[in-house]
């Protein structure tokens, strides 16, 4: 709830800037995570150490807070435009 209060205090222009930065961060981290995921899957199959697949599967959850924050920003922008 604290984040929503902070977002409510920002102007629409500030929200759009914050959205652009957050979207760039999510895309950048997503690309890095995809490369890391591919590397872990390759290493798991090559070394037959299938425990790395569990690490690869759980690593996708690290992007979840960033995606949630981006969705909150987008929701605030939509509420202002209506």
In the chain, where the domains are located: 2-81
Q: What is the pLDDT of residue 46?
A: 94
Find the largest Cα–Cα distance for the chain.
Answer: 55
What is the tens place of the pLDDT at every residue in 30-77? 999 999 999 999 999 999 998 888 888 888 888 999 999 999 999 999
* Contacts of residue 55, Cβ cutoff 8 Å, sequence gap at least 6: 40
Give the integer Cα–Cα distance in Å for 78 and 16: 11
- List the one residue out of 29, 18, 26, 35 whose CA is nearest residue 7: 18
What is the tens place of the pLDDT at every residue in 9-18? 889 999 999 9
Taking the model in full, what pTM does it have? 0.80
Asked if 11 contacts 77 with a C-beta cutoff of 8 angstroms, the reply is: no
Return the residue matching tokens 């759980």: 58
Q: What is the pLDDT of residue 3?
A: 61
Q: What is the pLDDT of residue 65?
A: 93
């Amino acid at each position: 709830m604290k984040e929503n209060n902070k977002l409510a205090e920002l102007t629409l222009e500030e929200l759009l800037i914050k959205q652009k930065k957050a979207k760039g961060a999510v895309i950048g981290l997503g690309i890095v995570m995809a490369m890391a995921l591919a590397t872990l899957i390759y290493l798991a199959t090559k070394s037959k150490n299938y425990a790395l697949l569990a690490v690869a599967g759980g690593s996708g959850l690290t992007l979840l807070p960033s995606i949630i924050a981006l969705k909150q920003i987008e929701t605030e922008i939509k509420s202002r435009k209506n």
